[in-house]
Every structure is written in structure tokens, then in C-alpha cells.
Amino acid sequence: AQRVTQPEKLLSVFKGAPVELKCNYSYSGSPELFWYVQYSRQRLQLLLRHISRESIKGFTADLNKGETSFHLKKPFAQEEDSAMYYCALYNTDKLIFGTGTRLQVFP
């Protein structure tokens, strides 16, 4: 079955520290993967998608088919990065989300 796994419920770092939010997936075909973010009191919004290979707000994510991973990285965390992050997989006809990781960035 197609599945998205985010092993960490909470990740706490200090400002300026590197951040890596983990995402692993199980999918039999070629996956289409996304990262969505939910800031406090805001609706979920797209952060980035693997097909565009772009960097948004300093975040990048590389698809590793061998390890079935799509980890989200940022070299220097900022306080405004504190939010809930969801990894998502587009599965033929629907969007499946992981359980989410809350990132806390302390000053």
C-alpha cells in the first residue's frame, strides 16, 4: 500500500542550526512528492514539490528513489520556520499525507 512516513513528531532546533525533516514513502510507481507547511493560524500551503527542484524559503528536498526518501532540508533555520510540515505523495488519483512534523526554532 502507498504510504508516507514522517518518523519525527517534533523537531526542536536553535536559530541558525541546520534542519532536516525526514520523509519516507512506499509507492510502486514513480512518485510525485510534495512538502506542505501549516504556519500558526494559517491554512496549509504548498512549500515545494520534487518535480520543480526549486528552493523555497531556503528549503530544498531531494528525491532519493533508492532510499525511498524525500527529506526536507534547510542549512540555517529561522524562527519564522516554526510550523507544522507535512510530506505528501500523489498516488494516481489522490493526495496522501504523512502524520506531520512540528518544527520549533528557538531564538
The C-alpha cell 523537531 sits at 11
Report how far residue 14's alpha carbon sits from residue 60's, in angstroms, rounded to the nearest whole number.
Answer: 19
List of E strands, 39-100: 45-49, 60-61, 72-74, 83-91, 94-97
Binders of another protein among residues 37 to 96 (CB under 8 A) are: 43-46, 49, 51, 86, 90, 93-96
Which of residues 17 and 46 has its CB atom nearest to another protein in the complex? 46
Which of residues 17 and 95 has its CB atom nearest to another protein in the complex? 95
Question: Do 93 and 2 form a contact (C-beta atoms < 8 A)?
Answer: no
Which of residues 15 and 65 has its CB atom nearest to another protein in the complex? 65
Residue 98 engages another protein in binding (rule: CB under 8 A)? yes
Tell the smallest beta-carbon distance from residue 98 to another protein (Å).
Answer: 6
Report how far residue 23's alpha carbon sits from residue 69's, in angstroms, rounded to the nearest whole number.
Answer: 6
Tell the smallest beta-carbon distance from residue 42 to another protein (Å).
Answer: 8
C-alpha cell at 15: 536559530
Tell the smallest beta-carbon distance from residue 69 to another protein (Å).
Answer: 17
C-alpha cell at 103: 518544527
Site residues (CB under 8 A) for another protein?
A: 6, 9, 32, 34, 36, 43-46, 49, 51, 86, 90, 93-100
